[in-house]
A and B are shown apart, each in its own frame.
Chain A
């Protein structure tokens, strides 16, 4: 699991596209609709972030020299 500039750049593009959908919905309908869609995206992002963090931490503990590493 990598964390570097290229990964973060990918997230700039993802967040940009997500924000564009929120802005589009808001302008086409009502601010409330855009806000609710934004809330859905934020919750999805939080779930993804939580799972990413758990996997990252699991990988980190299992590294050579880590507390859970087995030879």
Chain B
């Protein structure tokens, strides 16, 4: 009789535990691992979120069609934002370098790439906060101010989250957590994918809000 597979009350369950098996392993696709699927689905939901903000932006810009955009006398600092764009695009190259390095087993390269990415991300955030301070208009300055701060602020919040992920990845890298086995560097790969997503979104935000 298989009575040992049922946990017994009253402390007699030692033998029972030895024979007890938990639920079977969750089914997993052989084409994509759980972590990557998770970040893919998360990014799809984020695209929808940004899509809602862009829809608001274009509604205000095209349908409401104000006399001037941005409203006079305000001007957007296109040069500074362009420089900030270059900084963020560079950070995508450095995180890619970090991933390529760990794929080849080069831990020093990975650490260098992660630290550079972190510094570039921090610089981006610092420049954006500095830009907010000197813009001369607030989120209450007409619909333009509201949507400008909403779009760029939403992106800034994502950069902040990305920086947190990079902080954890960098700390783990310095503690020797990753190696070239693909299953052993998810902690860099997933923040890397997220960071690229942030970069792509900024390129679109910059082209839309500052240039068009």
Chain A interface (Cβ within 8 Å of chain B)?
A: 1, 3-6, 8-9, 11-12, 15-16, 19, 22-23, 26-27, 31, 34-35, 38, 59-60, 63-66
Contact = CB atoms under 8 A, between A and B. Distances in A.
Given A15-B203, A19-B203, A19-B206, 14 more contacts: A1-B31, A3-B32, A3-B40, A8-B192, A8-B197, A9-B196, A15-B200, A19-B204, A22-B211, A26-B211, A31-B212, A34-B211, A34-B212, A60-B29
Q: Is the interface of A mostly helix, strand, loop or mixed?
A: helix
Contact of B89 (A16, A27, A60, A65): A16
B30 A5 contact: no
Interface string B62-97: 000000000000000000000000000100100110
For A1, A8, A16, A59, the residue with the greatest tally of chain B CB atoms inside 10 Å of its CB is A8
A54 to B, nearest CB: 15
A26 B36 contact: no
Contacts of B211: 22-23, 26-27, 31, 34
Given A3-B32, A27-B211, A31-B212, A9 B204 contact: no
A15 to B, nearest CB: 5
A5 B29 contact: no
B207 interface: yes
B92 to A, nearest CB: 5
Q: Is the interface of B mostly helix, strand, loop or mixed?
A: helix
Contacts of B200: 11-12, 15
Interface string B1-35: 00000000000000000000000000101111000
Given A8-B197, A12-B200, A38-B207, A3 B89 contact: no
Interface in B186-212: 189, 192-193, 196-197, 199-200, 203-204, 206-208, 211-212
A34 B206 CA distance: 13
Nearest to A59: B31
Nearest to B100: A6
A10 to B, nearest CB: 9
B99 interface: yes
Nearest to B198: A12
A26 B212 CA distance: 7
Contacts of B212: 22, 26, 31, 34-35, 38
Contact of A5 (B27, B189, B208): B189
Nearest to A64: B30
A26 B95 CA distance: 30
